[in-house]
Amino acid sequence: MNLPDFFEQDRLAVDSALDRLLPAETTEPVSIHTAMRYSVFAGGKRIRPILCLEAARIFEPDARPDTSPAMHAACAIEFIHTYSLIHDDLPALDNDDLRRGKPTCHKQFGEATAILAGDGLLTLAFQIIGESSTSAERTLAILQEVSSAAGTVNGMVGGQVADLESEGKRVEPQTLEYIHRSKTAALIRASVSTGAISAGAGIADVARLRKFGETIGWAFQVTDDILDVEESSAALGKTAGKDIAQKKATYPGVFGVAQSHEIAAKLANDAITQLDSFGERASRLRALAEFLVQRRA
Amino acid sequence: MNLPDFFEQDRLAVDSALDRLLPAETTEPVSIHTAMRYSVFAGGKRIRPILCLEAARIFEPDARPDTSPAMHAACAIEFIHTYSLIHDDLPALDNDDLRRGKPTCHKQFGEATAILAGDGLLTLAFQIIGESSTSAERTLAILQEVSSAAGTVNGMVGGQVADLESEGKRVEPQTLEYIHRSKTAALIRASVSTGAISAGAGIADVARLRKFGETIGWAFQVTDDILDVEESSAALGKTAGKDIAQKKATYPGVFGVAQSHEIAAKLANDAITQLDSFGERASRLRALAEFLVQRRA
């Protein structure tokens, strides 16, 4: 999966900021900083930070990505996303050996280092939020958005727990919705809302963008479920059909592939409707939303 | 180990606040909230939150513990301490079955839940810091103190990595110092400094208390090492002699028991000297510091 070319400038700016905000590989203890960097630079497409920068751009259209007031929030969320992948891949959880075609963190560095590298990234995320260039009030609002999205109550960790507990079981549609909204949509919602907050958006605009982010995040995860069924491992860069093999709760599993396509399209449409009042200022965010559900990998 | 009776009021207020700030056991996903509560209420003595409340009391002597402006910081640090114990006890790290006489989190709930309960507590810690009753500026200063103390660069996670890597090796005194200061002293330093910041202490006073906290935290860990050698398992409520069995880097291992006693006493004295300028206002904090190095369990 590659993002449209016009997001390349964002991606480069994000990678550069991630590099700057992570401790150097030569900083003691070397082993953990090497592991943290390995996983952060293992080929992520930076969807969340780009959503964050693009949401900020609605309110600060002239801000260059590399000097965006949203950059700390964007990188913090990428660190949280990375930590969640490291911990999800552990033997006690999804037990994955490969991630984006490379050995997972625990395969490369051992389980102890992987657990602690995840802990270190989560902690660093909150540290760099505290060092944001925005006002103290905006920074606290960002802290609230990110910590609740990453937490156990309707947040990422809660979604991961429900996901693990649903394996091998017949799940109800509302459980499936809970899992996808908590595990994936919540952090994508925070990516968008924190970008807006960083750039000084008002309460009503933040609420609209929160709804956009939540809904496009949900559509993104439904699309992910569909691709796991429809595409080859080669196209995905990870093992296709893994959801079925692990008996995960998925949209195709509960609704079938055809209806899942309809659900993803409807969610994406609902999401994009939230951007109407922003007109042309949201055109890049709109393009990104369309890409996220039309991608084939 | 029991704290002197006159801290009982603090401890009760802390336990009550921890209970209020944790999601209920009935909140979905029930399994993780049950596990988080199990570990938080597994018998901790609340040393860190009490240090935090007592540091605040220097500047707000009339504040009742239950309405202390430092309570969110105090509880956040206890959540971080608890998460670190849950992850340290995992099979891939210290592989402990018992903690304070009870099954460790992963023995009770399984490894996946234990990993995620630790993640959930760390995330919740930063969420409740963001909901502190202090000003936005003070809250951001607290966020900075806590996140750096808990992190990988001279912080708790970094100390844990160095501790694991030193097992079975002959360590130099400076490595031993790095481990103890990072793994234990950093978070105790933050307990004291965030209490002071919450209550509006000025920069010079915060710096003095930071130094006090760092030094008493270091003395505390040296004392822990000594007790592991000198006391019985029954007295400690955990397996005595475990450091030697696991070939951990300890002060008695490097300096012998007698010299370790001298080091602990000198550190405690250095710490308490930092309190001189506060006079009688610091008498409770002084008593707590003396207790931490004179305890026999």
pLDDT in tens, A55-65: 999 999 888 88
A175 near B CB under 8 A = no
Quickly state the pLDDT bin for A1 (edges 50, 70, 90).
Answer: very low
Q: Which residues of A touch B120 (CB under 8 A)?
A: 151-152, 157-158
Mean pLDDT over residues B24-34, rounded? 98
Is A118 within 8 Å of B113 when comparing Cβ atoms?
no
Residue B4 is predicted with a pLDDT of 75
Nearest C-alpha of chain A: how many angstroms from B156? 9
Global confidence as pTM: 0.97
Residue B5 is predicted with a pLDDT of 79
Quickly state the pLDDT bin for B108 (edges 50, 70, 90).
Answer: very high
Number of A to B CB contacts under 8 A, please give it.
Answer: 153
Distance CA A246, CA B272 (A): 57
For residue B66, the 8-state DSSP code is: G
Nearest C-alpha of chain B: how many angstroms from A89? 11
Q: Which residues of A touch B119 (CB under 8 A)?
A: 83, 87, 118-119, 122, 157
Distance CA B271, CA A150 (A): 38
Q: Which residues of A touch B152 (CB under 8 A)?
A: 23, 29, 32-33, 36, 116, 120, 123-124
- As a whole number, the mean pLDDT across chain A is 94
Task: For residue range B142-154, list pLDDT tens digits in order.
Answer: 999 999 999 999 9
Window 257-286 of A: residues touching B by CB (8 A cutoff) are: none
Residue A53 is predicted with a pLDDT of 97
Nearest CA in chain B to A32: B161
Is A29 within 8 Å of B143 when comparing Cβ atoms?
no
**DSSP reduced 3-state for B16:** helix
- The closest alpha carbon to B128, from B114, B142, B117, B118, belongs to B142
Residue B233 is predicted with a pLDDT of 65
Nearest to A157 among B123, B155, B157 (CB): B123
Task: For residue range A81-128, list pLDDT tens digits in order.
Answer: 999 999 999 999 999 999 888 999 999 999 999 999 999 999 999 999
Where do the H-state alpha helices sit in chain B? 8-21, 30-40, 47-59, 71-88, 105-109, 111-130, 136-150, 156-166, 173-180, 186-198, 203-230, 233-236, 242-245, 251-255, 257-273, 283-294
Nearest C-alpha of chain A: how many angstroms from B260? 25
Strand partners, B66: none
Determine whether domain B5-294 maps to CATH 1.10.600.10: yes
Least confident piece of the model among A176-180, B59-63, B136-140, B267-271: B59-63
Window 207-246 of A: residues touching B by CB (8 A cutoff) are: none
Task: For residue range A10-53, list pLDDT tens digits in order.
Answer: 999 999 999 999 999 999 999 999 999 999 999 889 999 999 99
- The closest alpha carbon to A293, from A235, A227, A232, belongs to A227
% residues pLDDT > 90 (chain B): 85
What is the torsional sign of CA A178, A180, A182, A188?
negative
**DSSP reduced 3-state for B112:** helix
The first and second tokens of residue B119, run together, are: 């993640």
> Where along chain A do its domains lie?
5-294
Is B158 within 8 Å of A29 when comparing Cβ atoms?
yes
Nearest C-alpha of chain A: how many angstroms from B154? 8
Cβ-contact B167, B248 below 8 angstroms:
yes
Burial B57-71 (b: 16+ CB within 10 A, else e): bbbbeebebeebbbb
Nearest CA in chain A to B132: A140
Is B151 within 8 Å of A111 when comparing Cβ atoms?
no
Task: For residue range B183-192, list pLDDT tens digits in order.
Answer: 999 999 999 9
Cβ-contact B208, B184 below 8 angstroms:
no
Q: Check pLDDT > 60 for residue B12.
A: yes
Distance CA A245, CA A101 (A): 19
Give kind and range of the element (H or E) at residue B200.
Answer: none
Q: Which residues of B touch A118 (CB under 8 A)?
A: 119
Q: Check pLDDT > 80 for residue B6.
A: no
Residue B1 is predicted with a pLDDT of 47
Mean pLDDT over residues A157-162, rounded? 98
Residue A191 is predicted with a pLDDT of 98
Q: Check pLDDT > 60 for residue B292.
A: yes
Is B111 within 8 Å of A92 when comparing Cβ atoms?
yes
Nearest C-alpha of chain A: how many angstroms from B194? 15
Window 2-41 of B: residues touching A by CB (8 A cutoff) are: 23, 27-29, 31-33, 36
Distance CA B21, CA B38 (A): 14
Three-state SS sequence of chain A: CCCCHHHHHHHHHHHHHHHHHCCCCCCCCHHHHHHHHHHHCCCCCCHHHHHHHHHHHHHCCCCCHHHCCCHHHHHHHHHHHHHHHHHHCCCCCCCCCEECCEECHHHHHCHHHHHHHHHHHHHHHHHHHHCCCCCHHHHHHHHHHHHHHHCCCCCHHHHHHHHHHHCCCCCCHHHHHHHHHHHHHHHHHHHHHHHHHHCCCCHHHHHHHHHHHHHHHHHHHHHHHHHHHHCCHHHHCCCCCHHHHCCCCCHHHHHCHHHHHHHHHHHHHHHHHCCHHHHHHHHHHHHHHHHHHHCCC
Window 88-127 of A: residues touching B by CB (8 A cutoff) are: 90, 92-93, 110-113, 115-116, 118-120, 122-124, 126-127
% residues pLDDT > 90 (chain A): 85
**DSSP reduced 3-state for B92:** coil
Window 177-196 of A: residues touching B by CB (8 A cutoff) are: 178
Q: Which residues of B touch A131 (CB under 8 A)?
A: 144
Nearest to B147 among A123, A162, A178 (CB): A123
Least confident piece of the model among A9-18, A229-238, B274-283: A229-238
